Amino acid sequence: MNEKDLLEELIKVSEEDSSLTPKQAKILQAAIETFAEKGYASTSTSEIANKAGVAEGTIFRHYKTKKDLLLSIVSPVVTKFAIPFFADRFVQDVFENKTNESYEELLRTLLMNRFEFVNRNTTLLRILLQEVSLHKEIQELFQKNFLEKVYPKFVEVIEEYQNKGEISKDIRVDTAIRLMMTTLIGFIITRFIIMPDVEWDDEYEIEQTITFIRKGLR
Amino acid sequence: MNEKDLLEELIKVSEEDSSLTPKQAKILQAAIETFAEKGYASTSTSEIANKAGVAEGTIFRHYKTKKDLLLSIVSPVVTKFAIPFFADRFVQDVFENKTNESYEELLRTLLMNRFEFVNRNTTLLRILLQEVSLHKEIQELFQKNFLEKVYPKFVEVIEEYQNKGEISKDIRVDTAIRLMMTTLIGFIITRFIIMPDVEWDDEYEIEQTITFIRKGLR
Amino acid sequence: MNEKDLLEELIKVSEEDSSLTPKQAKILQAAIETFAEKGYASTSTSEIANKAGVAEGTIFRHYKTKKDLLLSIVSPVVTKFAIPFFADRFVQDVFENKTNESYEELLRTLLMNRFEFVNRNTTLLRILLQEVSLHKEIQELFQKNFLEKVYPKFVEVIEEYQNKGEISKDIRVDTAIRLMMTTLIGFIITRFIIMPDVEWDDEYEIEQTITFIRKGLR
Amino acid sequence: MNEKDLLEELIKVSEEDSSLTPKQAKILQAAIETFAEKGYASTSTSEIANKAGVAEGTIFRHYKTKKDLLLSIVSPVVTKFAIPFFADRFVQDVFENKTNESYEELLRTLLMNRFEFVNRNTTLLRILLQEVSLHKEIQELFQKNFLEKVYPKFVEVIEEYQNKGEISKDIRVDTAIRLMMTTLIGFIITRFIIMPDVEWDDEYEIEQTITFIRKGLR
DNA sequence: AATGAATGAGACTTCATTCAT
DNA sequence: AATGAATGAAGTCTCATTCAT
């Protein structure tokens, strides 16, 4: 797979417009590593500076505060993980061709797409999960992205497949969305965050998860 | 329901054998509140002392370190949440009478039991979720309780219902456990941690969740 | 030798007039041990209480402050080590029978007597040496005992042996005292404090030290 | 005498290679003063900071711990006092020209050399003496320097003068070394540490001390 | 006489941030 | 842009001492 992770992408982009100095890239890398390992609050800027091979002051030349540094790391993850569930190019990939795509195919595309994303950005997701409950800036980002962008799209999709008879009409839309997302996200988090060290038969688990949702909602 | 939450229970018990001084109870209460709100690392012992109306030194008379205080809060939650999934008295409630109990009834007992537990201990669970990834002491507690006690019981149960034809034999036991637990825990966490402020029709959601699992695994 | 060390002596005496409770004796023992090992300032009263198997408050029932405890340990050592050099019963042993005793015999009695004393009270002496420079109460004790009691006796003795021709009249009395005491005390401290773990041929060293002083002052 | 003390020397050296910031020099000065007066354990870092006119945090930028600060003060004293007894340039001064130098001359050079050193560094020596028995790091420094460097040289010298007939062959080498060093160091400590406020006729005391040793070992 | 919970001052140390270079 | 010395507030923890029981 030739897709890069978010950090690489960020660095790549900024090489072109030189919006990111090499030291800054090192700082981001070091911060991500350390935040993931010890949590934001227990990571000191001096440790980041050390690991990045940079003077302590240099961090603050690029990020006004430590929290700025966190947000600059976490924000793109929120928007790229949550939004893309239904936005931009992704929408086309997943939903626009909905006429000729079965429900099963939609689930598969959706799951595999996010599976790959998290696979490439596990560390970032770990930070996000750890910090989201402690910083309302992040929560607001979440709400904004989810409520305004993801949720309405999902409603649309669920209703369509209810009409097509692939999802039971006896179940409320909200509940269906909850069960579906819980199962998808639960799988991904179990796979990459909770038990990353277990041997996984990914293909099998993905298929079983899809079947589980389909049968469960029928 | 006249069941108490863990803290009350602890205080009640210790009133009888006076293993907990009144100040110590205040400290626990204050610590729980603050840890849940700001996270362990961002909570200062002086803030806890203030909120508890106690001198800062008093905290350290009862808990050798701040981390000890955290663990004394979190450990019982792990053991009471994770172990009891299948241990002691609970086992009898849920599994022992399995001959005359249907799979559906088992799921309902299981879900409602843990639903009530979390309902009474939301704050404690919030702390646990926030800190588990940052403290390997907690992780070890988890592993021990889950791997040694919960997991084997689950295997047993899944296999039994596969034999009875209520769960498909095409699905691997581990995968079935994962899907089932993901859905159960995902529901509880969504209900109490992620979106506690939404109006919930608990009875409906519980029934739908049970149905979803049953149909999904059939 | 059936002489006891100072602590035993203190305990023994107080058993008769019950001036020292058993707990108090334990406290003294624990304090001596710990002061010697870590120094007064780095020893906490709670550590002493622990080691003595006593509640923290108990120490302060017997000794108003931690410093009181130190002084109650160190004072008898000063008076018994420094004063006795020339006081009380000891004076009779060592000096009163000076008519028929040679200078060599005097040195031997003196050295062996103090040698035995330190041998029985090494721990106490260690504490004294460590703390003397930091507490002026102890220094004053020292000065009082040495200047008023030890020194004048020494002057007397030195002059006598200068008259008898065993000590050179070319050397000032003060200087002779200094050289003599430095050598005696230097030996004892080297023997018991600085290098207690080396194998010592005590008899030989004592004789050589006496010879060294005699020849050096002749 | 235009020789500086160790602290001045350290500051001077570091001005050239700027290895010591001005604040750091102030910290050292303040620490030395206060350690000597109250002892290491009873000196607080805040007191040092105050006296140095520096923020408390500044101390820890330069010395990781309070103990580091102590060792950075004490280590050079050990190596410069103990090692140089017989090392480097000093060896040449004192021993190398031994063919034409009498035993008396050697003693005089040795004593006067160390006398001057302590005269210039009394405060540092006071700290060393106070702390040596409480910190095994310092003890190890001592052992290393004394056993490996000073002691073998002394053996050599004593044996040489035994052969030349200036020291009695009846006395064991170790005992001779002990008596000699005890007398030398005893004098210096009495002069500068125990009774620095008395009027001393240094020239006289030095000569008498040398004579005492020579006659005592003959 | 003895306990041990409680205290509050103060210990050492960390840390995000600033600023002169 | 980068440095790193300096800061001072705040953090965790220790400690001698008190007091109700």
Contact residues, chain C, for D158 at CB < 8 Å: none
Report, in angstroms and rounded to the nearest whole number, the Rg of chain D calculated over CA atoms.
19
Length of chain A: 218
Least confident of B162-166, B171-175, D143-147: D143-147
Segments in chain B forming alpha helices (H): 6-17, 22-38, 45-52, 56-62, 66-81, 88-94, 103-120, 122-132, 136-145, 151-163, 173-189, 202-217
B212 vs C22, residue with greater confidence? B212
pLDDT reading at C208 higher than 90: yes
The nt closest to A58 (CA vs C1′) is: F2
CA distance D59 to D34: 14
Residue A123 confidence (pLDDT) above 50: yes
pLDDT at C198: 94
D130 contacts in chain C (CB < 8 Å): 130, 133-134
Measure the CA–CA gap between D187 and D190, rounded to whole angstroms. Answer: 5
Nearest partner of D216 among D169, D173, D168, D182, judged by Cα:
D168
The answer to whether A145 faces chain B, any CB pair under 8 Å, is: no
Give pLDDT tens digits for C2-53.
456 766 776 666 656 666 888 899 999 999 999 999 999 999 999 999 999 9
3-class secondary-structure state, position B119:
helix
Q: Which amino acid is at A89?
A: R
Q: Contact at 8 Å (CB) between A214 and A107? A: yes
Residues in chain D closer than 8 A to C187 (CB atoms)? 178, 182
Q: In whole angstroms, what is the distance from residue B30 CA to residue C37 CA? A: 40
User: Which of D138, D156, D145, D119 is closest to D71 using CA atoms?
Assistant: D138
Exposed/middle/buried for A169, CB within 10 Å: 0-12, 13-18, 19+? exposed
What integer is the mean pLDDT of C154-176? 92
Strand E contacts in D 14-53 (CB under 7 A): 43-47
Q: Indicate yes or no: CB of B178 within 8 angstroms of CB of A185.
A: no
Please give the nucleotide, over all strands, whose C1' is closest to the CA of residue B60.
F13
The list of chain D residues with pLDDT below 50 reads 1-2, 88-89
- Would you place residue B121 in the very low, low, confident or very high pLDDT band (cuts 50, 70, 90)? very high
Separation of alpha carbons A108 and A206, rounded Å: 8
How far is CA A126 from each of CA A34, A102, A196, B10, B39, rounded to the nearest angstrom? 11, 32, 12, 33, 16
Which nucleotides in chain E lie closer than 7 A to a protein CB?
Answer: 1-20
Interatomic distance A109 CA / F2 C1' (Å): 47
- CATH match for D66-217 among 1.20.210.10, 1.10.357.10, 3.30.360.10, 3.40.605.10: 1.10.357.10
DSSP secondary structure code for residue D197 in this structure = T
**In one letter, which amino acid is D64?**
K
Neighbours of chain A (3+ CB pairs under 8 A): B
**Alpha helices by DSSP H, D82-150:** 88-94, 103-120, 122-132, 136-145
Question: Would you call C183 helix, strand, or coil by DSSP?
Answer: helix
**Chains A and C touching, counted as 3 or more CB pairs less than 8 Å apart:** no
Q: Out of A41, A134, A178, whose CB is closest to B190?
A: A178
Per the structure, the residue whose CA is closest to nucleotide E15 at C1' is: A44
- Chain-centre distance of CA C168, in angstroms? 29
At D182 the pLDDT is 96
Span B116-126, mean pLDDT? 93
From D38, D39, D183, residue closest to C182, measured CB to CB = D183
| pLDDT, chain A, mean | 87
Q: CA(A122)–C1'(F9) in Å? A: 36
With CA of D57 and C1' of each nucleotide, the nearest comes out as F7
B189-213 average pLDDT score: 96
Instruction: Tell me what pLDDT residue C2 has.
Output: 46
SS3 D190: helix
Chain A nearest CA to B131, separation (Å)? 8
Which chains have at least 3 CB atom pairs separated by less than 8 Å from chain D?
C
Chains that touch B (3 or more CB pairs under 8 A): A
Show residues of chain A in contact with B209, CB under 8 Å: 179
| CA pair distance D90, D97, nearest whole angstrom | 11
Which bases along strand F come within 7 Å of a protein CB atom? 1-20
Burial class (CB in 10 A: 0-12, 13-18, 19+), D105: middle
Does nucleic acid strand E have an atom less than 7 angstroms from the CB of D66? yes
pLDDT of residue A121: 92
Element of type H or E holding C176: helix C173-189
B110: amino acid identity, one letter: L
**Domain boundaries along the sequence of chain D:** 1-63, 66-217
Taking residue D159's Cβ as centre, other Cβ atoms within 10 Å add up to: 14
Q: Which of A38-52, B131-145, B175-189 has the lowest mean pLDDT?
A: B131-145
Residues with Cβ within 8 Å of B193's Cβ and at least 6 positions away in sequence, in order, are A133, B122, B125, B126, B129
Q: Please tell me the distance in Å from C130's CA to the nearest CA on chain D.
A: 6
- Interface check B133 vs A, CB under 8 A: yes
The CATH superfamily of A73-217 is Tetracycline Repressor, domain 2 (1.10.357.10)
Evaluate whether C29 touches C52 at the Cβ level (below 8 Å): yes
The secondary element (H helix, E strand) that includes residue D16 is helix D6-17
Do D and C make contact via 3 or more CB pairs under 8 A? The reply is yes
CA distances B183 to A97, A130, D181, Å, are 29, 21, 82
Torsion, Cα A32 A35 A40 A41, to 10 degrees, reads -140
- Name B159's Cβ contacts closer than 8 Å, sequence gap at least 6: B173
Q: Give CA separation, A41 vs B71, B193, C150, in Å.
A: 18, 21, 65
CA-nearest of B34, B110, B20, B100 to B66 is B34
pLDDT tens digits for B135-152? 999 999 988 888 888 888
Quote the CA–CA distance of A101 and A206 in Å, as a whole number. 18
Q: Are B213 and A179 in contact (CB under 8 A)?
A: no
pLDDT tens by residue, A26-40: 999 999 999 999 999
pLDDT of B189: 97
Candidate from A39, A130, A215 with C-beta closest to B215 = A215
- Residue B215: its chain A contacts at CB < 8 A? 215-218
The 10 Å Cβ neighbour count of residue A101 is 14
Q: What is the mean pLDDT of chain B?
A: 87
At B79, which amino acid appears? T
DSSP C85: G
How close D182 gets to chain C, by Cα (Å)? 6
Q: Is it the case that residue B69 has pLDDT exceeding 60?
A: yes
Query: CA at C57, C1' at E2: how many angstroms apart?
Result: 8
Instruction: Place A143 in a pLDDT band, splitting at 50, 70 and 90.
Output: confident
Q: Distance (Å, rounded) from C-alpha C120 to C-alpha C4?
A: 7
Which of C166, C201, C212, C213 would you mutate first to test chain D, the one with the most D CBs within 10 A?
C212
For range A147-154, the mean pLDDT = 85
Output the six-digit token pair for C144: 């009082």
Which of D71, A164, A13 shows the shortest CA–CA distance to A4? A13
Q: What confidence category does residue A2 fall into, taking pLDDT thresholds of 50, 70 and 90?
A: very low
Quick one: pLDDT band at residue B86, thresholds 50, 70, 90? low
Contact D110, D161 (CB under 8 A): no
Task: Collect all residues with Cβ–Cβ distance below 8 Å to B80 and sequence separation of at least 6.
Answer: B6, B117
Among candidate residues A202, A186, A182, the one with its CA nearest the CA of residue A194 = A186
Q: Say whether the CB atom of A209 is under 7 angstroms from strand E.
A: no
Token pair, residue B144, equals: 């021990």
- Angle of the D6-17 helix axis to the D66-81 helix axis, nearest 10: 110
Decide if B183 touches A, using CB distance below 8 A. yes
Stretch B165-172: mean pLDDT, rounded? Answer: 94
Smallest CA–C1' distance to E6, residue? B58
Domain B70-217: state its class.
mainly alpha
Q: What's residue C103's pLDDT?
A: 86
Distance from CA of B13 to the nearest CA of A (A): 32
- D213 to chain C, any CB pair closer than 8 A? The answer is yes
The sign of the dihedral angle between the CA atoms of B113, B114, B119, B121 is positive
Q: How far is CA B181 from CA A195, B82, B216, in A?
A: 14, 12, 13
Distance from CA of D18 to the nearest CA of C (A): 35
- Report the CATH superfamily, name and number, of domain C1-63: Homeodomain-like (1.10.10.60)
